[in-house]
Amino acid sequence: MDDNTPATKADIESLRSEMKTMERRLTGVLRAFYNYMQPNDLRMASSDNEAASVRIRLAALEARVFESRLSEVEMKLNMPPAA
């Protein structure tokens, strides 16, 4: 078809049909990608929760170690523990 030739109803209908076909294909690709990524999103959220849990446990452990070391220093200095 020449660029200067007016489009016929058949041309327009053909174009509509092609666009609908492309839309269906694109929708299929997007659905497949979404279905592929959904478990990854769940895994990432789980990993984030696990990392937060590890940070909380590490902070508690550090606090206990610090408290233990402080008590040791106080005993060596023969100071009563602070209330």
pLDDT (tens digit per residue) in 16-53: 999 999 999 999 999 999 999 999 999 999 999 999 99
Does residue 83 lie within any of the structural domains?
yes
Structural domain count of the chain: 1
Does residue 3 lie within any of the structural domains?
no
Does residue 61 lie within any of the structural domains?
yes
For residues 14 and 24, the answer to whether their CB atoms sit within 8 Å is: no
Report how far residue 33's alpha carbon sits from residue 12's, in angstroms, rounded to the nearest whole number: 31
Residue 71: name the closest of 63, 58, 60 by CA.
63
Domain that holds residue 57: 8-83
pTM of the model: 0.48
Query: Quick one: tokens of 7?
Result: 């489009």
- The radius of gyration of the chain from alpha carbons, rounded to an integer in Å, stands at 34
Does residue 53 lie within any of the structural domains?
yes
Does residue 2 lie within any of the structural domains?
no
Report how far residue 59's alpha carbon sits from residue 81's, in angstroms, rounded to the nearest whole number: 22
Q: pLDDT tens digits for 45-76? A: 999 999 999 999 999 999 999 998 888 887 78
State the pLDDT at residue 1.
52
Quote the percentage of the chain above a pLDDT of 90.
70
